[in-house]
Amino acid sequence: MKRGRIFSGARPTGRQHIGNYLGALQNWVKLQDDYNCIYCIVDIHALTSLEDTRNLQNNIHEMILDWLAIGLDSKKSILFVQSHVPEVMELHTLLSMITPLSWLLRVPTFKEKVKLQPDNVNYGLVGYPVLMTSDIVLYKATVVPVGEDQLPHLELAREITRRFNNLFSYTFPEPEGILTHYPLVVGLDGKEKMSKQAGNDIELALSAEETIEKIKTAYTDPARRYRTDPGHPEKCNIYKLMFYFNSTSISAIAEECKEAKIGCVDCKMILATAINKVLEPIREKRAELANNPKYITEVLSDGADRARVIARETLIEVKKNMKLI
């Protein structure tokens, strides 16, 4: 017996990196056994910040390849692209009528976006959390695994849900956000969160050699200028990443670093080897999937078909309760 329905989504950013993997995807894979999971590539959400959509289809394709390669399973879960089930946009319009604008203008991510894209503060951007709420409640999901940055959106989703249920009749369960165990994964530059834009990421689909090259560029403990300087593993990003990929010899490595018995280049090689070991089967599976575009199309159209059945049912209930029908 499954414990309920999960919904989560991610914008189509293309190839996934180890930050996406450790921060979200690995957890999504595990949740598949205990819940009915729906995982969505939210292309409409992407449009709130995207004026050039030339890479959109390619990004969706690269992303689903990674999702399947790491173990999201289209038999266990529903995997689909948001716009393939347009019912979500209908629900978004309906929910927009009961969402006070003041709630939306307060959202921290909205304020950040206004600073980031001052020339593109579009109407859809303000409604971003309403669309996200629609994603979740259209499928009556009760559990939403997200990163910390999404918690304000989740809070708003709960408020909109409550308001809808109060204004009309009980329709939606209140969704709850759950955080993953993994904290923010820092990028190879040691400064920001690992991200594609910052160029400080390691893509899952890199070859073993490319991964080694990329890790060689990583920032380590700044106090270790010479090989003989003692290191501070707790300040070293390579060491942090080792935790996730190489947990067995980790304390020995820390000691050797502190006593300057191993250098940063050695550590980088240890990390690269460990990462490559974990990613090798993922890359093999990805290459296989990439050779079969027809299968990928089938996975997504089957996912959308299954999602649409639930979506239509909810939408009829919503309209009845709003007295639209």
CB atoms near residue 122 (< 10 Å): 14
Contacting ligand TRP (CB under 6 A), which of 5, 6, 7, 180? 7
Among 31, 144, 289, 307, binds ligand TRP (CB under 6 A): 144
Residues 267, 239 contacting (CB under 8 angstroms): yes
- Say which residue the tokens 């993922």 belong to: 282
Residue with tokens 């090989």: 227
SS3 for 235-258, per residue? HCHHHHHHHHHCCCCHHHHHHHHH
Asked if residue 60 binds ligand TRP (CB under 6 A), the reply is no
Measured from the CB atom, is 44 or 69 closer to ligand TRP?
A: 44
From the candidates 76, 140, 193, 319, give the one annotated as an active-site residue.
193
Quick one: tokens of 146?
């997200």
Q: Is residue 69 a contact point for ligand TRP (CB under 6 A)?
A: no
Residue reference for tokens 């180890």: 18
Q: Is 196 among the catalytic positions?
A: yes
Q: Which listed residue (20, 36, 150, 211) binds ligand TRP by CB under 6 A?
A: 150
Tell me: does residue 11 bind ligand TRP (CB under 6 A).
yes
Q: What's the CA gap between 281 and 117, in Å, rounded?
A: 39
Helix 87-96 crosses helix 293-321 at what angle (to 10 degrees)? 40
Choices 145-153, 163-171, 234-242, 313-321 (CB under 6 A): range interacting with ligand TRP: 145-153
Cα separation, 12 vs 86, whole angstroms: 17
Using CB under 6 A, which of 69, 132, 160, 271 touches ligand TRP?
A: 132
Asked if 28 is part of the footprint of ligand TRP (rule: CB under 6 A), the reply reads no
- The reply to whether 35 sits near ligand TRP by the rule CB under 6 A is no
- Taking CB under 6 A as the criterion, which residues in 195-224 touch ligand TRP? none
Active site residue 193: yes
From CA 140, how far away is CA 175, in angstroms rounded? 8
- Which residue in 2, 140, 191, 196 is the catalytic one? 196
User: Rounded to whole angstroms, how far apart are CA atoms 235 and 254?
Assistant: 11
Q: What is the CA radius of gyration of the chain?
A: 22
Q: How far is the CB of 222 from ligand TRP (least distance, A)?
A: 31
Of 62, 135, 201, 203, the one binding ligand TRP by CB under 6 A: 135
Smallest separation, CB 177 to ligand TRP (Å): 8
The footprint of ligand TRP (CB under 6 A) covers 7-11, 42, 45, 132, 135-136, 144, 146, 150, 153
Query: What residues are labeled active site?
Result: 113, 193, 196
